[in-house]
Chain A
């Protein structure tokens, strides 16, 4: 089994930049639990899909061996900068580019100095990956639906297995999509709509029941809550794991009104 652990985490930088904020401390603590689980699974590579790396032409894969710099988020710049130091598993990423043809997807490698690694990937790598395990990062092509995203993840895991690698699956994205549209006291941050809050909690409970339940519920949930990119990051988990038996929700909270969670899946 190539997949040794799998996670769905929020890509918001807020819990990372201000973990002392009471409203975000729970998410930061949840990330710490997920980090411990990921480290314990001893992966050779993190297979990362972030809803915040947008592509519109082809499926893009990061193949630059070493990306280092300081990122400033376009929304949350006032809360601080995001330094990053990311190593890629170039051999595996290039194999994934080649493997996309097998699932009917056109793909391209990305290898450019100063390429703007997205906030979600940076947050996940920083908070989950203290050992600087190499990453394979796939873009969120906005025209790829849930099914294509599953197939891409499955292909990436098969490709990893062919290279004999232990894989941690990391899906980066949010839950309900409604942010506050005005300034708030961040200490009082909460999910903006009560209906979204209830739907988020119910959906997380569904995840604990396994992949079949999650698959049955995700469409209606995503539509009702305007969830982050239709929960395509969950498709990444489903496709990569081939199904999970349950999940542990390490944290649930809000990031300026939008739903966020840290979830570890049982394989």
Chain B
């Protein structure tokens, strides 16, 4: 019977394991999930910078950032959700639902628009809760559950708007009280050096930073990784898996509300058919940014870079004056290229570590 080893008084000098080559710091850096995406972003930026003169000026860059931010706002919570092991296909139309709720509620009852904003928040959070609750209670894959809610919301958007207003777009709310203050909060813009930037860009970056901090520096982030990496293991050590998943879905709902408010106060009217198809852009942005489809790995910064890549690709093609018929083809090819580059870099970095 062996004795227990005595606790060393001093920490023993670190002994290097002779089986290990010292990995380079650079390789370790490149193994981070977002580095592949960053490389892809730099490559695409240089590419369009070279071939599209209009891409180079600050005004264009502001447009690219604005376009990226409309996707980036949702790509952040979708990335967190994917790290947590779930999908949300209803996120795209949820944005429209939130915006429509705010507009229609305030308009129909002739209330201050801020009341509609609050009601929209409650509705968006409720939809997120519903998604999460059904997923954890029934065990049905979230891909399927949210596909169902996607169709339901899409239909509700169209049907309720038509029923309530006899129109397919929400009515003009600019005459309602509170509109100008709400517009200042959700959709104002500011000028730097003569160039106009929309505030959604700032919100996008701020929310991304908050999400990154939560993910990497708090215990909640630890739980998110574990719930996506291996839910049974997480459950076994006492992580509240169901609450986490529901919370993640509600986070998506929260940002869908925010993006909806941004949209509403930017354009003042919402087309009820909007938002369909965006859910895949969010997922693509997250995957380009390093999120695994199987969960447990990824980065919010990466998703933001992914949204930025999407924005650069989309607007860059317009700015380069390419044939519009080929637009979607180029978009798909560039995105595929970005994902491949991302994967290639990460694999090399893993091997070199």
Question: Do A and B truly interact?
Answer: no
